[in-house]
Amino acid sequence: MIGSLSHIFVASLAVLAGLCIYASIHHLWVGWGRPARRVHLLFGILSGVAAAYVLAKLAAYGAENAAELVERRRAVVDFAVLFLGLFAWFVAEYTGEKRRWPLLGLGALSAFLLLANAMLPFGIFFSALPELRHITLPWGETVTDLRMRTTNLWFGAALGLFLSSFVYAGQACVRQYIHGDRQRARSLGLAIVVFFVIALINQVVNFGALKFVHTAEFGFIAMVLLMNWFLSQEMHRDAEKLAASEHRFRSLVDQSPFSIQVLAPDGRTLQVNRAWETLWGISGSALAGYNILQDRQLADKGILSYIKRGFAGESLELPPVIYNPQDTPELPGAPFRDRWVRAYIYPIKDEGGRVGEVILMHEDITERKRTDDAIRNIAEGASVRTGEAFFEALVKQLAALFEADYALVGVLDTHVPGTVNTKAVFAQGKTAENFSYSLDGTPCENVVGQQTCIYPSGVQHLFPDDALLAQLDCEGYIGTPLFDAQGAPIGIVVAMSRVPLGQTEYMRKILEILAARAGAELQRLQAEARIRQIAFRDPLTGLANRASLHETLPALLERARVSGRQCAMLLIDLDHFKTINDALSHHTGDLVLRAVARRLTEVAAKETFAARVGGDEFVLLMPEISGDAASAELQARRLAEAVVVALEKPIVIGDQQFKIDASIGATLFPQGSADEHDVLRHADIALYRAKSQGRGSIQFFSVDMLAKASERLEVERRIRHALANGGLALHLQPQLDKAGRIMGAEALLRCRRPDGSLLLPDALVPVAEESGLIHAIGQWALANACACLKSWESAAHLRDLNLSINVSNWQFVRDDFVAQVGRHLEQSGARASRLTIEITESVLLYDIDDAISKMRALKSMGLRLALDDFGTGFSSLSYLKRLPLDELKIDRSFIQTLDVHTPDVFIESIIAIGHAMGMSIVAEGVESEAQHSVLAKMGCDGFQGYLWSRPLPEDGFAEYMSASAMS
């Protein structure tokens, strides 16, 4: 038993040395690795030195003689000194408590001791060969040792190194316990204490207090093994921590909603996450042959340079790019997937700042991009298109964006509730006809006035009553309501598809934006239509107005020129409408005009354009009647006749009945018309002619009318010129009483032509009336008549004469007529009693009450009043008694047709009634003595005519008066 144990001490020391060697190799390995770890490296060296120390000690135990022992002991001391120096350094590294000067001091002391140990003949511990001693261990093993008991200076230095190493280690350990990692401090503390205790025991042996082998090696070994254990534990813990954080990192990547690609510095892909695989439709394993740094698609799109910057260590955002994995040959079998992506690239660097991995994160911005593009499209489209074109573009765009088979914009019918009229329809790739449909039972019923509705699939089954859905075989439906600015529903925008809809959220966004724009456009159109209505409609009759005629006519003219067909314009003027309007009320007048408009539209064909172009003037435009002018004229004439007949039928308003006569001027065009103004002028000329022919007549324009019309223009020019240049004159025709005495004169207007000839009132007055010049002429005549009367006052033979003046109806109906007369009398100072105003019966037609009140006013001013041309008007004697007249003038036509041999009952009764009412009766146009005597016999009071004198210029009249006074 004992024999088997005879080498146990040595053997176990060898085993422990082996353990130290193992620890040394292990930690050197760890220390050298990447990343390098100085603590392990130091510890590896420390363990190696410990192993060397133990082996040296083992060798010493086996020494044969003192000399051999001393040499072997020298090596032991070397390793012990080395160990102590390294120990302090290791502790400094391990705790992080590095103190430069103490460490340098320890290093210097160690070096000094090593040097001394090598130089001294017996090493630092012996001054002479020591005495050997053999120690038999309790189990019978015998080892060679020596008696030490040396207490020389060198020994003191070694002890100093020993103690200062421990002091340094101890304080580092305490500091770490206080300030740093307590677990580390505790582990280290334990190792130091064990080391120190065993080293103390060794000293006790050294001083011979204990009879045993030196135990120093056990201190070294214990310290190495304990620290090896602790360091290994730490390494294990670190590895676990690393594994855990790696796991966290992997799951973070994998579960991220962002697409992540982890790349190796050489460009290969290390990992992709699920979001990445879903985005591109490729599994990560398909990337085996792919290297991002050689991706041609990225290079072509200019993105590779950014990625390379990422690999070079920069963190940056890549510009948005559209990428399709199918276009990259290194990704065989990749599906077609055009995606807009925005990517961020950033490298992960190690402690040394080297790029380890590169992370590429993408975001799929395809939808956002599409939405942005759609919005931009809408914005751009909106700026160039308006009206119908806008809606057409909108539905087309909608169908394209949603890949829908049908798209439409509908407007609620304001007249038929629950009905939608489409504004634009896009069906299967093209613009389609508009139509109307009822909302009942359709998905739109849930949309109109409410909110966006999406039926991604099966919409036909949800709305079995919707025939349209079934007919179009729709699966998916999306609709959004249109509102006006006040929030009232006005329509709907719909897209329908034969396949189920995807990406409905994106659709909703787009549709609502489009709908807002469409709603605004609809409103704009409605506003425009209202403005057009106001601008181009006659509010009273609802017919088109003059502005509208001016817009329609040129277009029609142009069309007719191209087609070569004749059109017709009928210009319709109501006769005596002013009488109705003035005599009754404007309200009645309005009702009559409305009735007329209704009748016009009744007789006109649907395509005939009807307009009210003036107070009582209407236009009918017959578009492109016929290529043959004769047949076009025939049709236009038929319409004109139909109009006359339609208007002749009495119009009943309240308890009153009206019969309307109309004069119609018609013209064909484009024949002979250069432009719209010609057409209007021709119709106007024809109307003028029609009016001059009496009530209810129809005249077609002919070229010879143009000559007449230009004559009229010439006359008008002449009048203007005469008014401005004193070319007007009043000629006086004497009037005689029964006794043949001259009692006065009638002033008759004359206008001198440049050649000296005279323009007579029959040609002049109608033109003046029509052009409004009659007012200026009337004023002129009144002023001159008054001046003439005044001048007569200074001549005895003229002083008692009376002067008659003719007044046009247009003058007389003016509100200020009476005042005008008063003003002229006053300004001239002429006597009112010498002035007679001649009016005609027709003036009574307008407003008889107004006429009477004016006549009374004139009478009260002292004037005389005469009724001119009596018998030609409506010749009703009944009203005569209401009129404050002084004189009746029997019209020239009666005198001329007078049969001088038989009594004229008509003239006799006029004279009788006139006399009965206290009027004097004047016969004008008396040309023969026979006429004179017959009229005188019948009781006429005054006479006027060529028999005595033609109308004479003022000075001629004065001469005539002097001559007659002398005769």
Return d(Cα 540, Cα 595) in angstroms, integer: 11
User: Could you tell me how far CA 422 lies from the centroid of its own chain?
Assistant: 22
- The DSSP secondary-structure symbol of 654 reads T
Q: What is the 3-state secondary structure (H, E, C) of 65-81?
A: CHHHHHHHHHHHHHHHH
- Of the pair 51, 732, the CB lying nearest ligand C2E is at 732
Question: Quick one: which of 410, 476, 942, 945 contacts ligand C2E (CB under 6 A)?
Answer: 945
Residues 801-820, one symbol each (x = binds ligand C2E by CB under 6 A, - = not), give: -----xxx------------
**Do residues 757 and 764 make contact, with C-beta atoms less than 8 angstroms apart?**
no
Of 39-47, 107-115, 622-630, 760-768, which part binds ligand C2E (CB under 6 A)? Answer: 760-768
Size of the site for Ca ion (CB under 5 A): 4
- Of the pair 347, 951, the CB lying nearest ligand C2E is at 951
The CA radius of gyration of the chain, in Å to the nearest whole number, is 65
Return d(Cα 262, Cα 273) in angstroms, integer: 9
Of 202-210, 352-360, 401-409, 918-926, which part binds ligand C2E (CB under 6 A)? Answer: 918-926
Decide: is 869 part of the binding site for ligand C2E (CB under 6 A): yes
- The DSSP secondary-structure symbol of 789 reads H
Other Cβ atoms closer than 10 A to 283: 11
Decide: is 951 part of the binding site for ligand C2E (CB under 6 A): yes
Question: Quick one: which of 781, 865, 867, 910 contacts ligand C2E (CB under 6 A)?
Answer: 781
Query: Could you say which of ligand C2E, Ca ion, none residue 781 binds, taking C-beta under 5 to 8 angstroms by partner kind?
Result: ligand C2E
Decide: is 868 part of the binding site for Ca ion (CB under 5 A): yes
Q: Is 833 exposed, middle or buried (0-12, 13-18, 19+ CB in 10 A)?
A: exposed
Of 129-137, 652-660, 836-844, 914-922, which part binds Ca ion (CB under 5 A)? Answer: 836-844
Decide: is 573 part of the binding site for Ca ion (CB under 5 A): no
Return d(Cα 619, Cα 613) in angstroms, integer: 7
- Of the pair 162, 810, the CB lying nearest Ca ion is at 810
Other Cβ atoms closer than 10 A to 697: 19
Question: Quick one: which of 144, 545, 806, 811 contacts Ca ion (CB under 5 A)?
Answer: 806
Token duo for residue 536: 């181009």
Query: Could you say which of ligand C2E, Ca ion, none residue 679 binds, taking C-beta under 5 to 8 angstroms by partner kind?
Result: none
User: Could you tell me how far CA 818 lies from the centroid of its own chain?
Assistant: 63
- Of the pair 217, 838, the CB lying nearest Ca ion is at 838
Decide: is 110 part of the binding site for Ca ion (CB under 5 A): no
Nearest to 957 by CA among 820, 795, 826: 795
Decide: is 538 part of the binding site for Ca ion (CB under 5 A): no
Question: Quick one: which of 761, 822, 884, 956 contacts ligand C2E (CB under 6 A)?
Answer: 761
Decide: is 893 part of the binding site for ligand C2E (CB under 6 A): no
How far apart are CB 731 and Ca ion at their closest, in Å? 12
- Of the pair 253, 781, the CB lying nearest ligand C2E is at 781
- Of the pair 700, 943, the CB lying nearest ligand C2E is at 943
Strands 742-752 and 728-737: antiparallel
* CA quadruple 74, 77, 81, 83: dihedral sign: positive
**In sequence order, which ranges of 282-409 are alpha helices (DSSP H)?**
296-300, 304-311, 366-384, 387-402
Query: Could you say which of Ca ion, ligand C2E, none residue 217 binds, taking C-beta under 5 to 8 angstroms by partner kind?
Result: none
Decide: is 748 part of the binding site for ligand C2E (CB under 6 A): yes
- Of the pair 781, 961, the CB lying nearest ligand C2E is at 781
Query: What single-letter amino acid sits at 403?
Result: E
How far apart are CB 779 and ligand C2E at their closest, in Å? 11
* 247-251 LR contacts (CB < 8 Å, sep 24+): none
Decide: is 871 part of the binding site for ligand C2E (CB under 6 A): no
Which residues lie across from 924 on neighbouring strands?
A: 944
Q: What are phi and psi of 701, to 5 degrees?
A: -65, 135
Instruction: Residue count of the chain, please give it.
Output: 967
Nearest to 809 by CA among 763, 847, 781: 847
Query: Could you say which of Ca ion, ligand C2E, none residue 31 binds, taking C-beta under 5 to 8 angstroms by partner kind?
Result: none
Decide: is 915 part of the binding site for ligand C2E (CB under 6 A): no
Of 280-288, 715-723, 855-863, 868-876, which part binds Ca ion (CB under 5 A)? Answer: 868-876
Question: Quick one: which of 684, 869, 904, 954 contacts Ca ion (CB under 5 A)?
Answer: 869
* CA quadruple 83, 85, 88, 92: dihedral sign: negative
How far apart are CB 960 and ligand C2E at their closest, in Å? 14
Of 430-438, 477-485, 487-495, 943-951, which part binds ligand C2E (CB under 6 A)? Answer: 943-951
Which residues 716-735 are close enough to bind ligand C2E by CB under 6 A? 733
Which residues lie across from 145 on neighbouring strands?
A: 133
**Do residues 647 and 661 make contact, with C-beta atoms less than 8 angstroms apart?**
yes
Name the strand (E) or helix (H) holding 481.
Answer: strand 476-483
Of 362-370, 464-472, 699-707, 919-927, which part binds ligand C2E (CB under 6 A)? Answer: 919-927
Residue nearest to ligand C2E (CB): 761
- Of the pair 13, 781, the CB lying nearest ligand C2E is at 781
Strands 802-806 and 835-840: parallel
Nearest to 933 by CA among 897, 965, 960, 895: 895
**Do residues 231 and 332 make contact, with C-beta atoms less than 8 angstroms apart?**
no
How far apart are CB 788 and Ca ion at their closest, in Å? 16
The residues binding ligand C2E (CB under 6 A) are 733, 748-749, 760-762, 765, 781, 806-808, 868-869, 892, 924-927, 945-946, 951
The residues binding Ca ion (CB under 5 A) are 806, 838, 868-869
